[in-house]
Amino acid sequence: MACVLLFSRIPPFSHRLTRTSICLLSMFLSYLCYCALFPADTIMQKAGDPTPGCQRVLADGAKRRIQKPASCALQLDARPSSVEASRLKSDQRPPSTLHVDTPSPPMGNLKFGNKKLPNAIIVGVKKGGTRAVLEFIRIHPDVRAAGTETHFFDRNYDRGLEWYRGLMPRTLESQLTMEKTPSYFVTKETPQRISAMSRDTKLIVVVRDPVTRAISDYTQTLSKTPDLPSFQDLAFRNQSLGIVDVSWNAIRIGLYALHLENWLRFFPLAQIHFVSGERLITDPAGELARVQDFLGLKRIVTDKHFYFNRTKGFPCLKKPESSGSPRCLGKSKGRTHVQIDRDAIEQLRDFYRPYNVKFYEMVGHDFKWE
């Protein structure tokens, strides 16, 4: 219409134009008016572009549009997949609220918490029941523990604390980090080294009748070395005179009072908790209750978690809801002991008695190893 009005205002010179020329001029002026009303990029835009006003980046890096409205939520250089296209079609929200979800990383790749130096360490003793205490206390949701013995403070100390930290599990701020290495209790340098790491470290010692412990130690070694000399040959320098060989490791470990004296040079007694290996068998829930109290934990591990395995002669953990079978300790636990001459046993009891009495006095508890 505007073109017709404009054409009507042209001075009369139509007598000079042919009918065809007038027609062509009208079409040209109509085109100019149309271009003025509708921008070229709107005309040329492809029907497949989901958000017309958004900036589009071409393959050569040139930009077709330099303005990008805030309502754009989809990048035009990334075409939606067929699944996404179907989802977008079914979404009834206004186009300005559509968004592309960033996929979450697989749960197996997520790492929660940090690796920390241990707050508590089970430092001994070998064949006393340390593995049982560790497995039982790990039921507690606020405890994380290294699964294997690290032997950091007795064999790998030169590797440094950062190496040691790397062996620990990741824990949340509210959780305790633990490890257990039974040989720590009898290693002279260990108390000072742990104290240098942290004087606040809590220590757990699982003790057992030293005679029974020595026989259990020998039984385990014999299973790996069948040609081992007899127990009596290793335990005595002269059995007829009752002279015990304290250089044999199986005997030396049972001198609890001597080892404890070394620990008390660096840690107060209140920072060391003693677990009875015998009561751990007869009353695991009771012993674990005291361990939880010592660590400042709520009593979550209770008698409902245990049952007595008559075959092994040892308590096992009841079947967890996520598992198909109960969880007992390994085959090396609850192994039948080698039969030892009764006279040798009585001689060893006489040898250990003064050390046991001194140990009872030091810790303020009678373990009744008679």
> Which of these, 74, 120, 131, 121, lies nearest to 98 by C-alpha position?
74
Q: Say how far apart CA 148 and CA 121 lie, in whole Å.
A: 13
333 among annotated binding-site residues: yes
User: Which domains are delineated in the chain?
Assistant: 114-363 (3.40.50.300)
User: Can you give the pLDDT at residue 286?
Assistant: 97
Angstrom distances, CA of residue 78 to CA of 48, 91, 92: 12, 19, 22
Query: Does the annotation place 237 within a ligand binding site?
Result: no
Identify the helix (H) or strand (E) that includes residue 147: none
- Helix, strand, or coil (residue 26): helix
Q: What are phi and psi of 99, to 5 degrees?
A: -150, 160
Does the annotation list 190 as a binding residue? no
Tell me if 149 sits within 8 A of 187, measured CB to CB: no
Residue by residue, pLDDT tens for the chain (370 residues) are: 444 444 444 454 444 445 655 656 667 666 665 556 555 544 444 444 444 444 444 434 444 443 444 444 334 344 444 444 444 344 444 433 333 333 444 444 447 899 999 999 999 999 999 999 999 999 999 999 998 999 999 999 999 999 999 999 999 999 999 999 999 999 999 999 999 999 999 999 999 999 999 999 999 999 999 999 999 999 999 999 999 999 999 999 999 999 999 999 999 999 999 999 999 999 999 999 999 999 999 999 999 999 888 777 778 998 665 554 556 766 555 568 899 999 999 999 999 999 999 999 999 999 999 8
The single-letter DSSP state of residue 226 is: T
- Report the alpha-carbon distance of residue 310 to residue 313 in Å, rounded: 5
* Residue 127 falls in the annotated catalytic set: yes
- Cα separation, 161 vs 196, in Å, equals 11
Separation of alpha carbons 255 and 307, rounded Å: 32
| Cβ neighbours for 134, distance < 8 A, ≥ 6 positions apart | 122, 145, 178, 180
The model's pTM: 0.68
Catalytic residue among 127, 224, 318, 358: 127
State the sign of the Cα–Cα–Cα–Cα dihedral 176, 180, 186, 188. Answer: negative
At residue 82, the pLDDT reads: 46
**What confidence score (pLDDT) does residue 36 get?**
60
Q: Which residues pair with 290 in a beta bridge?
A: none
Q: Report the chain's C-alpha Rg in angstroms.
A: 41
The answer on whether 131 is annotated among ligand-binding residues is yes
Say if CB 56 and CB 76 are below 8 A apart: yes
What are phi and psi for residue 360, nearest 5 degrees? -55, -45
pLDDT of residue 84: 44
Residue 127 annotated as lining a ligand binding site: yes
Tokens of 227: 């040609």
Residues 6 or more apart from 284 whose CB is under 8 A from it? 132, 136, 303, 306, 315
Q: CA–CA separation, 126 vs 105, rounded Å?
A: 43
- Which residues touch 242 (CB under 8 Å, ≥6 apart)? 236, 347, 350, 351
Is 208 annotated in some ligand binding site?
yes
The answer to whether 129 is annotated as binding is: yes
Alpha carbon distances (Å) from 97 to 100, 253, 342: 10, 72, 86
Q: Is 334 annotated as a binding residue?
A: yes
Question: For the chain, what's the residue count?
Answer: 370
Alpha-carbon distance values, 179 to 17, 187, 342 (Å): 105, 16, 37
Q: What pLDDT is attached to residue 44? A: 44
User: 205-246 pLDDT, tens per residue?
Assistant: 999 999 999 999 999 999 999 999 999 999 999 999 999 999
Structure tokens at 284: 């695991």
